[in-house]
Amino acid sequence: MIVVGVDPSDESRAALAWAVEEGRIRRVPVLAVHAWELPVIATTSGLVPPEPEFAADLTQIRQAAEEVVAALVEEVAGGASDVDVRPVAVEGKPVNALLDTAEREHAELIVVGSRGHGGFIGLLLGSVSDQVVRHASCPVVVHRRPQDGG
């Protein structure tokens, strides 16, 4: 099993394409994991969940996340009939969603895209790829999309 983190970015699409090809080579399924989070409201006493009437919107948020990941899988891997690519929407932070899914599914590999933030900015941002590399219990590939024109 290969777990790959996906979002609508070009880097993520490239990482998904790479993971699908790797799944083909290894003859293992690929889980395309898209993380989503419940919005919270900032108050003077801290962060709190939204009002109860927001619960109906929660279903819409979950459905939207499921639609996003399904569309990404169809766009990138729709023609890959020889690889089992499954879209998965997970509530939570991306790092936790990837690590927990990989652990639960006994993944042999995690693939994440790279936004290309290096140096000082990369340190400030605390990227998902950096945290996954640091905490994963299996090998991790940080896929960098080839730059245009060079």
Task: List the domain boundaries for the chain.
Answer: 2-143
| 126 pLDDT above the threshold of 60 | no
pLDDT tens-digit series, residues 39-98: 666 666 666 666 665 555 777 888 989 999 999 999 999 887 899 999 999 999 999 999
Inter-residue contact 114 to 12 (CB < 8 Å)? no
CATH superfamily assigned to domain 2-143: HUPs (3.40.50.620)
Question: Between vectors from CA 125 to CA 122 and to CA 126, what angle results, nearest 5°?
Answer: 90
2 in the Ramachandran plot: left (φ > 0), alpha (ψ -120 to 50) or beta?
beta
| Burial class of 94 by CB neighbour count within 10 A (0 to 12, 13 to 18, 19+) | buried
Confidence of residue 7 (pLDDT cuts 50, 70, 90): very high
C-alpha to C-alpha distance for 93 and 12, rounded to whole angstroms: 16
Closest listed residue to residue 112, CA positions, set 91, 134, 130: 130
**pTM metric for this prediction:** 0.83
Question: Between vectors from CA 84 to CA 83 and to CA 86, what angle results, nearest 5°?
Answer: 135
Torsion of CA 40, 42, 46, 51, to 10 degrees: -50
- Based on C-alpha coordinates, what's the Rg of the chain? 16
